[in-house]
Structure 1
Amino acid sequence: MEATTQLTYALDTFYFLMTGALVMWMAAGFAMLEAGLVRAKNTAEILTKNIALFSVACIMYMIVGYGIMYPAGGNGFVPDISFAFMFGGDHSESKIVEEGLNHALMSDFFFQVVFVATAMSIVSGAVAERMKLWSFLLFAVVLTAFIYPVQGYWKWGGGWLQELGFNDFAGSGVVHLCGATAALAGVLLLGPRKGKYGKDGSINAIPGANLPLATLGTFVLWLGWFGFNGGSQLALTGLENTNAVAAIFVNTNMAAAGGTVLGLVTARMLFGKADLTMALNGALAGLVAITAEPLTPSPAMATLIGAVGGVLVVFAIVTLDKLRIDDPVGAISVHGIVGMWGLMAVPITNTDAGFAPQAIGLGAILGWVFVTSFVVWLLLRLTVGIRVGEEEEYEGVDIGECGLEAYPEFVGSRGAI
């Protein structure tokens, strides 16, 4: 191989791996955000879920998920799975193969596995404070091994959504809508937290224990998103790729800024106060909104797309509360409702995209993930159960599920709000 080709390959692979590492760092962001938005008595359990789900996702995606998502063949709807060592299928064409190990495949696997872990992290916050830990992890096994990879194959694995012309650059649908839909199915079967909704129709706020931690988590996610979107360009070398990566970074940042400001302004208009949690969710909404197409918008348009996401997420959170759908961190609104907006916003700036393929792709992901997730959650509820007991919920799942407290020196969890 020529020295120039080797250098190009090395630089692109290094960029791919480093952006994957940034996405992996988003796991820390989700952990901190969720730990800040739940009550003190549930902190250790939410942190346990986050590190455990990441590990489960890595193992299951290695064993079976990657082979389903990127198979040797298939009819566009159902992948033709041919299992090989660690990975399914034959992905070696036009790749560098050395001593029987496909190093290009290894870098691609690493980048993809942190995406599937992100989808599962979305579920974690929505079911917080009342779900059994081991039931959650059993669901994580199924989502990361089967549910996520199938719809991922439809788009990114060359399946029917790709052939249809459905556009989802970095995963507003494949990752974020998928995670939010799985969370919605679980929340509907799980029910709200005790005391969240009154018999008279009242909605009771249940504040998080550590807003500085939630803010830190949001900034970590904001940083990690540069890898999420920037890495999805797949290469850095060459004038076109380099300029594209720079544009993606700028647009990702501007969308987050737009979402933050409009989320804060919308909260001020609705509630009369500058609600920090809405500003945080506004930032994340802006990031989710631009993820489907971070390359073609101008920076001003990216800001606007993110700003619309910031407005939508506030109204979505309020609406879900009125429907008595309890989501402690707003994950369904941020990643689901705004994920839909991100998908439908693609044709506004991308002339190769159409509204009909975008709507079909949105519906396909929503339908597949909701039905399969609902079935899995229901089976878990009928067998091992998915909700902790009333006393355990009152005392805090830290004690009941983990046998320890996150803040033992400051406040006892038993009976704490």
Structure 2
Amino acid sequence: MVEMGLNAVWIMVAAVLVLLMQGGFILLETGSTRMKNAGHVAGKTIFTVGLISLVYWAVGYGFAFGGDAGEGLNKILGLGNFFFDPSISAAEGDAYPSSVFFVFQLAFAAVSMSIAWGGFAERAKLSVYLIFTLFFGSVIYPVIAHWIWGGGWLAEDGSQDYAGSTVVHLTGAMAAFAATILLKPRIGKYNKDGSANEILGHNQVFTSLSVLLLWVGWFGFNAGSALTIGDGFFAYVAFTTQLGAAGGAVAALLISWLVKGKADIGVTLNGALAGLVAITASCAYVEPWAAVVIGLIAGVLVFFSQLFFEKIRVDDPIAALSVHGAAGVWGTLANGFFATPELAEKVGVGQAGLFYGGGGHQLWVQFLSVVVCGAFAFAASFIVLWVIKQIMGLRVTEEQEIVGLDLSEHGSYGYPEALKKSNTTTAL
């Protein structure tokens, strides 16, 4: 009972850390966009976290973790625990209460949802956030979570995704990708000749603080996924997480400095996040040196990925496709190279990677996970958003976008003193 109680406390602390990452997402998206949309960004994040909590409780958790793992239809979709009603305490022999596991998993679902919002930024109707949350929280995210974490067919294949490089990050990024395609670029982003204009975020201090908040929250994200205190393995997971994040931040700064001639702060911040995303799948499977390498590659990858998406005219204000998509793919594949036999055996999922005598099997499983989950998340999100677009439209009017979503969608301004000052100046 003492061990169960300690496990429950640790999972609850980890869940709170992951939920507080929403503060990081608020500051990240607000700081990376323009002042006229700041209140909208902050408010819709709180609203959608509330909505996905209800949807995930009613339906999503059942599809992700319901039913008997690995049996019949349950290989594809969980069937059970809808309108989840846990016991008031853990039963004898349980490692932790089911209620605390639900809270932890809900926080993950909310993070994936917030990643998706990067593709909607500064141009989507508030009503679209509402409707898409219903589908994402009830079906799109839970199906992928079930495949890898809930005893589904990829779990049976031995897919290694310890804390969600694919389940959480790639899923959210593919939803963002579908949104960017259907919403099209923001007004003024691209010129007729195809060249891009830089639309700067209004507060780099916000974005820097957001990265720090997310970085701290990631210890709940990764180390919390151990789910038990046990022999202290969660601390090793936290250790490799820190190394991966550090590698990403340093590599991104250096590559931007080398290519641009100036050390780009925005790229450095995204590099830290990319390192965190990449190490998320492998934090429990790799040695320290490999964690550093995974982070370093992620930091370089995110720099060139941002350039690529801008070149093909994909307007991604928060760099969700690069930070969570490209780095999520790399982080998942990295297990196929760097997973050690000892750690794979300890976690109990999959086998050693290519560099540790495991051959190409684990790399193939990781590749399959990326392709199938990425394709499903993109296709399902695209279909849902396309239907919404046909029925009611996705994007605010040109006038509303120019005025800003604070005023056009909410009738108030995130920085009211600045608005008063502007009106006074106009009157004078």
- The residue correspondences of 1:374-393 to structure 2 (distance < 5 A) are 374-393=382-401
1:408 CA drift (Å): 2.0
Which residue of 54, 67, 75 maps to 1:72? 67
344-353 or 42-51, larger mean C-alpha shift: 344-353
351-360 or 369-378, larger mean C-alpha shift: 351-360
In the alignment, does 2:253 pair up with 1:264?
yes
- After TM superposition, what 4+ stretches of structure 1 lie above 4 angstroms from structure 2? 411-415
In the alignment, does 2:90 pair up with 1:96?
yes
Question: TM-score scaled to structure 1, two decimals?
Answer: 0.92
1:140-184 deviation line (CA, Å, top 9, x unaligned):
111011111011111111010001111100000000000000110
2:234 maps to what in 1? 245
1:196 CA drift (Å): 0.4
Change (3 A) 1:142 1:346: same
2:375 maps to what in 1? 367
1:149 maps to what in 2? 142
379-388 or 220-229, larger mean C-alpha shift: 379-388
Question: TM-score scaled to structure 2, two decimals?
Answer: 0.89
1:75 CA drift (Å): 2.6
Q: In the aligned structure 1, how far is the partner of 2:283 from the partner of 2:13?
A: 19
2:363 maps to what in 1? 355
Q: Share of identical aligned residues, percent? A: 40
1:189-214 deviation line (CA, Å, top 9, x unaligned):
00000000000121100110111011
1:324 maps to what in 2? 313
1:53 maps to what in 2? 48
Pairwise CA RMSD: 2.0
Change (3 A) 1:358 1:390: same
1:248 CA drift (Å): 1.0
Task: Give 2:76's aligned amino acid.
Answer: V
Task: Give 1:298's aligned amino acid.
Answer: E
Task: Give 1:388's aligned amino acid.
Answer: V
Which residue of 263, 267, 272 maps to 1:283? 272
Contact 1:394 1:414 in 2 (8 A): no
1:76 CA drift (Å): 4.4
Structure 1: 5+ residue stretches without partners? 1-5
1:223 CA drift (Å): 0.2
Which residue of 394, 406, 409 maps to 2:417? 409
Change (3 A) 1:344 1:412: farther
- The residue correspondences of 1:168-179 to structure 2 (distance < 5 A) are 168-179=161-172
Task: Give 1:220's aligned amino acid.
Answer: L
1:206-261 deviation line (CA, Å, top 9, x unaligned):
11011101111110000000000001111013x2xx0x211111111111111011
Structure 2: 5+ residue stretches without partners? 342-350, 353-361, 424-428
2:4 maps to what in 1? 9
Contact 1:36 1:211 in 2 (8 A): yes
Partner-residue secondary structure (3-state), 1:259: helix
Contact 2:76 2:153 in 1 (8 A): no
Task: Give 1:69's aligned amino acid.
Answer: A
Q: In the aligned structure 2, how far is the partner of 1:43 from the partner of 1:413?
A: 17
Q: In the aligned structure 2, how far is the partner of 1:327 from the partner of 1:82?
A: 37
1:125 CA drift (Å): 2.1
Aligned length: 399
Q: In the aligned structure 1, how far is the partner of 2:420 from the partner of 2:364?
A: 54
1:299 CA drift (Å): 2.4
Q: In the aligned structure 1, how far is the partner of 2:5 from the partner of 2:99?
A: 13
- The residue correspondences of 1:28-43 to structure 2 (distance < 5 A) are 28-43=23-38
Which residue of 97, 115, 123 maps to 1:122? 115
Partner-residue secondary structure (3-state), 1:72: coil
1:298 CA drift (Å): 2.5
Q: In the aligned structure 2, how far is the partner of 1:18 from the partner of 1:276?
A: 31
2:285 maps to what in 1? 296
Task: Give 2:122's aligned amino acid.
Answer: E
Partner-residue secondary structure (3-state), 2:185: coil
Contact 1:136 1:386 in 2 (8 A): no
347-356 or 271-280, larger mean C-alpha shift: 347-356
In the alignment, does 2:178 pair up with 1:185?
yes
